[in-house]
Amino acid sequence: MQPLDVDEPATVGPYRLLGRLGSGGMGRVYLGRSAGGRTVAVKIVHPHFALDEQFRARFQREVAAARRVGGAWTAPVLDADPDAAVPWVATAYAAGPSLAAAVSDTGPLPPHTVRALGAGLAEALTAVHELGLVHRDVKPSNVLLTLDGPLLIDFGIARAMDGTASLTSTGVSVGSPGYMAPEQILGKGATAAADVFSLGAVLAYAATGEPPFPGDSSAALLYKVVHEEPELHAMGGELRALAAACLTKDPASRPTPTEISHRLAPEGAARLVTGGWLPGALVEQVSRSAVQLLNLDTGEAVRSGPVPFESPAETESSVRGLGAGRGSGSVGFDRPGEMGSSVRGSGPVPVDTPAKTEPPASASAASATDAGAFGPPPAMNPAEPAPPPPGEPTVVPAQRDAPPPGRISVSMAAAATPVEGARGRRLSCTVVLAVAGALAAGTLGLGVLLRPWSHQDEDKGAGSAPSHSQAPTAASSTATGGTGAPDTSPTPGTIPARYLGTWQGQATALDGNLPIGTFRLTVHRAGVGEELGRLTQTDQLGGVCTDILTLKQVTGTNLVATSTGAKGNHGGCDPAAHQIELTPVGDDLKYTSDSSAEGNPVSRLSKVG
């Protein structure tokens, strides 16, 4: 989770924002809390989209469709205001990593966990399809692993099967390479059978740690989905047979979600989840996230009603906690599908009415992340403001910038740690693909980047002014013959302590229009011409590229280095040398690159070690 920038809202509707979880194709996602203490994920559309009447109508349909979805294995919509100047929607927030992050971090899941996962997702799809909806983007990053079972999230591109609420233009496919059904890729439309195909691919990924259609480019992935058989050799027994049945090319030959759930869990998915369904490492991770949620300071409630969206975050003095979590159980609807139902107990606020100042009071939670999904937040250290130079007035920072005294401040990393030797880089972002008989993709350095096919974007990392290095005292300056004025310039050719350590954050390319995964940077002391550290780039499916950074210049405002691909990289990584810059932004570092071949990647990196 990233701290709020000064130009970001402090509250949205009845929810006070605690931090930024990420960004997607429609807008940004924030961690929020109601006056009653409920933790939610608030998705706010980009303001320029809000000016588009077609988009606004589409958003309203999406919210109405998502509001109809409810059940034990889906994350419910709790509140929304599609008619606001800047439309927003709030969902329950869940403490738990995405399936993509969990597998990348700990490896394939055990068979019992895969069975429970498949049964829960199949039951979720059964409920979705009974409403006449199709999810259309079932993939590892849209599945959260919680102690209470799997959650299927991000119904932002679900649509009515009767075609009356199509969310895309004719001939355009929406989905993720490697998890889209063949009929989706060929522009023939998506039915319930397309979700089953995607479910089969998700089960194969969970059981083997690899997607069933591997490839280093989106074009290769899409071609394999349409023309080749899935690679399931690492699976065995009934799970392999079931995955193969789901991944057949003929939609009519695939099993239904009901048949899948009966094959995996004749007595229901809940029976498999009861008594523990996650391996120990994931149980520990989720439990710590839940504890972290309890440590979030609720701060003072807003006394005079919610602050408008335009209010900058700097006007809010309440504590911004760092972390995420989820209470027990999932949140349901009192009367799903009916508009204007009253709020009772833990039920949601109707989405067709203005936001109430008394939000739902339940303590369940759900979220986001991969670029465009309500996934788990990336790790982030608590902010620690540096002391001001002598002669300047001491300013007490806003409470959100530091944990309150006596409280525990723990950051959980739900994102996977890059693993050397992983398969080639693959991109699992949601893409908009016009299929006219030929599939094309551009392969750009940091992995395989989809050119303007992608309509997603993530936070570009713009932030506050860089922090200054601590000035010497007036006494020491006078003793050395100076005038007493501090000299903040670093010694030429040395790396200030401000840059040292391990940094991590999400990255985008093509002016923020394309999410390209996670950057992890290590910086150690070095002189000009020496290696200062390495940058590891991990895409959403675990493909890894490593760049070696050589110090070129240190100025008073930034650090300049030459970045060159490591010899052990796979063919999808760019080996060419290019220049990168690291610029302090608050407590973070902003990474920029001049490599046009890679889409000029940008990332805001938070210190994690």
H or E stretch covering 197: helix 192-208
Return the residue matching tokens 């930024």.
Answer: 20
**Phi and psi for 152 in degrees, rounded to 5?**
-95, 125
**Separation of alpha carbons 245 and 260, rounded Å:** 10
Token output for 107: 């490896």
Strand partners, 520: 504, 536
Q: Exposed, middle or buried, 322 (CB in 10 Å: 0-12/13-18/19+)?
A: buried
Give every strand in the sheet of 39-45, ordered side by side: 11-12, 15-23, 27-34, 39-45, 88-92, 77-81
Measured at the alpha carbon of residue 73, what is the angle toward residues 431 and 364, in degrees to the nearest 5? 105
Catalytic residue among 137, 148, 459, 587: 137
Percentage helix, strand, coil for the chain under 3-state DSSP, each rounded to 5: 25, 20, 55
Q: What is the DSSP string of 299-349?
A: -PPPTTSPPPTTSBGGG--S---------SS----SSTT-TTPPP-TTPPP
**Separation of alpha carbons 83 and 57, rounded Å:** 9
43 is in an annotated binding site: yes
Q: Please say if 137 is a catalytic residue.
A: yes
Structural contact between residues 136 and 125, judged by C-beta atoms closer than 8 angstroms: no
Local structure of 445: helix, strand or coil: coil
**Phi and psi for 50 in degrees, rounded to 5?**
-65, -20
**Separation of alpha carbons 293 and 272, rounded Å:** 27
Half-sphere exposure of 224 (CA within 13 A, CB side): 18
Using the 8-state DSSP alphabet, how is residue 500 labeled? Answer: -
Tell which residue, 39, 486, 595, 503, has the closest CA to residue 297: 39
**Which residue numbers belong to the known binding site?**
43
Q: Which residues participate in catalysis according to the annotation?
A: 137
**Which residue numbers belong to the known binding site for ATP?**
43
